[in-house]
Amino acid sequence: MTNNNNELFETGDMENIGPERIAYIKPTGVEEAKRQGIIPAGIKLPDGVKLYVLHAVDGSVLGFTDAWASAYGAAVQNELTPVSVH
């Protein structure tokens, strides 16, 4: 299996990662982000912008950005294993 950076995961690699070290990257539209309270009130973003929200395993929001690579980098910098969610 490969991740979004085309790096190969060896069989069993995911089994060796504790769930607390996994972060999910979920593409989210602006309206959905506002409904979920991810975007603070008063912040205006252009229509059609896709955000990439970084979630902990428990679903809590760790952060968001407008680029998948930034979300991936933030996860790795914080010693988390990023996984894309669609």
Q: What is the pLDDT of residues 22-68, one digit of tens each?
A: 999 999 999 899 898 998 888 888 888 999 999 998 999 999 999 99
User: What does the domain layout of the chain look like in residue ranges?
Assistant: 20-84
Bridging pattern class, strands 81-84 and 22-29: parallel
Alpha carbon distances (Å) from 10 to 14, 21, 86: 8, 17, 22
Q: What is the mean pLDDT of residues 57-82?
A: 93
4: confidence class by pLDDT, cuts 50, 70, 90:
very low
In the predicted model, is pLDDT for residue 83 greater than 60?
yes
The whole model's pTM is what?
Answer: 0.73
